[in-house]
Amino acid sequence: MQPLRRRQLIDATLASIDQHGLHNTTIVTISRLAGVSSGIISHYFGGKNGLLEASMRHLLKELGDTYKARLAKVSTDDAEGRVMAVLEANFDRVQTSPAACKTWLAFWAEAMHQPELARLQKVNAQRLLSNLRAALKQLLPAARAQLVAQGLAALIDGVWLRGALEGGIDTQQAKALCRDYLAQQLKYKDS
């Protein structure tokens, strides 16, 4: 029963943030969406904050799982394929829904003054960067790989941010933008 309820409450949390925004999300809006009483949140998560942290962990895990699934489909020496796996995962349908974008942005903002959320966010940002850099090192000089990895990471986050504010990401256009950046940068080899 415990894992069922926890999942149910996390889903309700994401739904509430989508509908009302984080700052209008209360334990009442969450518990009402989950169809349970408000008291149960403290019972399973130790409080509202614990639930928010668990919800962010859930999103991060979902992103990580999607990336691993994409990565498993490309061979280890297919560097360009590994970069594309990062892009595909980040612009997966699940991650680019208006609800997901809103929630990510809300958590990012909250992380600025909530140490545990900041920690989670930092780990994720670092992993994104290091995944990109590792793959790019097979295609470019180390210093160049570092720069392009930072560029791609910023491009991904920027597209996401602008998408969140506009109410949705055009995933095709987003991927085209990143793929174009990568293609232009790989020409560097020849120059």
Residues that bind DNA (CB under 7 A): 1-2, 5, 24-28, 35-43, 47-49
Using CB under 8 A as the criterion, what x/- string covers residues 119-158 for binding a copy of itself?
--xx--x---------------------x--xx-xxxxxx
Contacts 24+ apart (CB under 8 A), 75-82: 77/138, 79/135, 79/136, 79/138, 79/139, 80/135, 80/139, 80/182, 80/186, 82/131, 82/134, 82/135
Q: How many positions of this chain bind a copy of itself (CB under 8 A)?
A: 44
Task: Name residue, tokens 């590792």.
Answer: 134
Q: Is 15 in the site for a copy of itself (CB under 8 A)?
A: no
> Closer to a copy of itself at the Cβ: 7 or 162?
162
- Burial letters 43-72, b for 16+ CB under 10 A, else e: ebbeebeebbbbbbebbbeebeebbeebbe
68 makes contact, choosing from a copy of itself, DNA, none, with CB < 5 to 8 Å by partner type, with: none
Distance between the two ends of the chain, CA-based, in angstroms?
61
Among 69, 166, 168, 189, binds a copy of itself (CB under 8 A): 166
How far apart CA 113 and CA 36 sit, in angstroms, is 30
Q: Which residue has the tokens 């949705």?
A: 168
Q: Which stretch binds a copy of itself (CB under 8 A): 56-64, 75-83, 132-140, 183-191?
A: 183-191
With CB cut-offs between 5 and 8 Å by kind, which of a copy of itself, DNA, none does residue 153 bind? a copy of itself
> Using CB distances below 5 to 8 A depending on partner kind, what does residue 48 bind out of DNA, a copy of itself, none?
DNA
Contact positions vs a copy of itself (CB under 8 A): 20-24, 102, 105-106, 108-114, 118, 121-122, 125, 147, 150-151, 153-162, 164-166, 173, 176-177, 180-181, 184-185, 187-188
